[in-house]
């Protein structure tokens, strides 16, 4: 299917910039960052089994959007004419696995730790927190699911920040936030404890707790990083750090393309 049609079907818009949630004036680095962030939100591994096919198509669509907007000539063509050269970006010979590995280096445990340290308390985290708060209408469960690296331990910190933002008029007060229940908080704490226990058992089996295999061994580095990351945080928030896991879902279907107009 043509790219603009896929964008409309999967994301409700035929405008490539809207798919990545950026402006037309976005720089090359901003385009890359938006692609990385948006594509990992539709990670097929975090989708339910019955939703994996849909998630995979969304992921592939985002990758195709990036191939247009990251190429100066194709981006200029799109900006000036509204045309997308589908024959190029549905190239059945394209090695999407290699493409991802070039764009995003292989993740190791130390990368996760460094990212956590830089992200927590940063302006980027604050922007993500505000966006998650507004999009979820104050639901703390959804906020924790959408702010990277966050855990139940961040709830008091997030609550304090959000109350300040509400007081300053930067975000509205939502009923779900104002009437957050202790029952939901206890359920989150219980779930987090269970996930940590399960991840710790897996980490023990793979020797990731300081014994056995090293965190930078060959073959399964990303998997090891994922498991150790789950031990420290919740799986949903760590998805944004494991780019090479998505590569296996980026095998485009065969098909001839043609230029299309938005």
pTM, 2 dp: 0.46
At 25 the pLDDT is 94
pLDDT band at 122 (very low <50, low <70, confident <90, very high): very high
Please determine, for residue 225, whether its predicted confidence score (pLDDT) is greater than 50: no
At 231 the pLDDT is 41
At 256 the pLDDT is 44
**Average pLDDT for residues 59-83, to the nearest whole number?**
88
**Average pLDDT for residues 85-105, to the nearest whole number?**
53
At 246 the pLDDT is 44
Task: Provide the residue ranges of all domains of the chain, joining segments of one domain with +.
Answer: 3-105+247-261, 109-241
| pLDDT tens digits for range 26-42 | 998 889 888 888 877 77
What is the residue-wise DSSP string for the chain? --HHHHHHHHHS-S-HHHHHT--TT--HHHHHHHHHHHHHHT-GGGS-GGGHHHHHHHHHHHHHHHHHHTSHHHHHHHHHH-EEEHHHHT-TT--HHHHHHHHSPPP-HHHHHHHHHHHTTSHHHHHHHHHHHHHHTT-HHHHHHHSTT--GGGHHHHHHHHHHHHHTTSS---HHHHT--HHHHHHHHHHHHHHHHHHHHHHHHTT-SSSSS-TT-SS-HHHHHHHHHHHHS-HHHHGGG-HHHHGGG--PPP----EEE-
**Would you say how long the chain is, in residues?**
262
At 151 the pLDDT is 81
Euclidean distance between CA atoms 82 and 260, whole angstroms: 8
**Average pLDDT for residues 57-75, to the nearest whole number?**
89
Euclidean distance between CA atoms 166 and 84, whole angstroms: 43
Task: Evaluate whether the domain defined by 3-105+247-261 bears CATH number 1.10.287.110.
Answer: yes
| pLDDT tens digits for range 150-184 | 888 899 999 999 999 999 999 999 999 988 766 67
């Amino acid at each position: 299917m043509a790219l603009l049609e896929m964008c409309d079907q999967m994301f409700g818009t035929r405008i490539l910039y809207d798919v990545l949630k950026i402006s037309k004036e976005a720089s090359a680095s901003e385009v890359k960052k938006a692609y990385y962030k948006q594509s990992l939100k539709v990670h097929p591994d975090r989708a339910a089994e019955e939703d994996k096919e849909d998630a995979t198509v969304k992921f592939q669509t985002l990758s195709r959007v990036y191939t247009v907007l990251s190429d100066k000539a194709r981006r200029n063509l799109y900006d000036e004419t509204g045309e997308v050269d589908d024959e190029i970006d549905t190239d059945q010979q394209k090695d999407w696995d290699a493409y991802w590995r070039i764009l995003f280096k292989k993740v190791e445990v130390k990368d996760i730790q460094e990212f956590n340290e830089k992200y927590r308390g940063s302006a980027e985290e604050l922007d993500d927190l505000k966006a998650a708060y507004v999009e979820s209408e104050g639901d703390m469960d959804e906020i924790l699911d959408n702010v990277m690296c966050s855990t139940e331990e961040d709830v008091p910190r997030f609550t304090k920040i959000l109350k300040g933002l509400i007081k300053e008029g930067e975000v509205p007060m939502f009923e779900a936030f104002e009437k957050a229940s202790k029952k939901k908080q206890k359920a989150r704490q219980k779930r987090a404890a269970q996930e940590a226990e399960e991840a710790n058992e897996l980490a023990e089996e793979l020797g990731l707790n300081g014994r056995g295999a090293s965190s930078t061994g060959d073959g399964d580095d990303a998997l090891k990083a994922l498991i150790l990351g789950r031990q420290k945080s919740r799986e949903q928030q760590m998805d944004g750090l494991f780019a090479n896991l998505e590569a296996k879902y980026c095998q485009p279907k065969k098909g001839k393309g043609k230029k299309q107009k938005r």
